[in-house]
């Protein structure tokens, strides 16, 4: 690309890193990040792609370390960053820590979205704690959000598979 006189920018690299991560090649994405930091400052989109990929590979420790590095570089985590980390904690059944991450997110001035709450509901339902999932469901409307089809289908599946005090 550069030999043709086209200069790559952060958007170009975000596309490449995102492609590597979607293909499950987070290590190639991380190597590319190391190479580009010499030329271009990565942004929140770049780092979110890597954090999410690490979470999906069940490398939560590394994802958290990358988030810490992100903050050290002066890049503020956004809702997508926190959603990925909350998802990783839920995958590992660390639900108390997932709720603490939500509290941290809010304390840092980063607003959760419906995806945040759906991740938590899914985490509780997978842990067969559907009543806790319902607690989060009630919190959704208290915070001014509207449940979506993901919310309802997650709860229905949770009721079908999980233990609840309603049975």
Q: Do residues 99 and 76 lie in contact, with contact meaning Cβ atoms separated by under 8 Å?
A: no
pLDDT at 167: 44
3 state DSSP class of 108: coil
Burial 64-84 (b: 16+ CB within 10 A, else e): bebbeebeeeebebbebbbbb
Domain 78-167: give its CATH architecture: Alpha Horseshoe (1.25)
- Full pLDDT tens readout for the chain, 167 residues: 555 655 666 666 667 666 766 777 666 666 666 655 566 677 898 889 889 989 998 999 999 999 999 999 899 999 999 999 999 999 999 999 999 999 999 999 999 999 999 999 999 999 999 999 999 999 998 999 999 999 999 999 999 986 555 54
Q: Where are the domains of the chain?
A: 1-76, 78-167
pLDDT at 41: 74
pLDDT at 88: 97
């Amino acid at each position: 690309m550069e030999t043709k006189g086209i200069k790559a920018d952060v958007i170009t690299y975000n596309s490449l890193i995102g492609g590597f991560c979607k293909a499950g090649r987070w290590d190639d994405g991380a190597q590319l990040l190391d190479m580009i930091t010499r030329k271009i400052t990565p942004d929140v989109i770049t780092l979110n792609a890597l954090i999410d990929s690490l979470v999906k590979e069940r490398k939560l420790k590394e994802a958290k370390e990358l988030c810490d590095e992100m903050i050290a570089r002066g890049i503020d985590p956004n809702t997508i960053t926190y959603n990925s980390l909350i998802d990783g904690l839920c995958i590992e059944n660390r639900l108390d820590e997932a709720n603490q991450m939500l509290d941290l997110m809010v304390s840092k001035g980063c607003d959760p979205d419906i995806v945040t709450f759906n991740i938590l509901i899914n985490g509780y339902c997978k842990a067969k704690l559907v009543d806790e999932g319902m607690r989060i469901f009630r919190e959704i409307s208290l915070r001014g959000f509207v449940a979506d089809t993901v919310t309802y289908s997650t709860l229905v599946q949770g009721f079908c598979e999980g233990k609840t005090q309603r049975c």
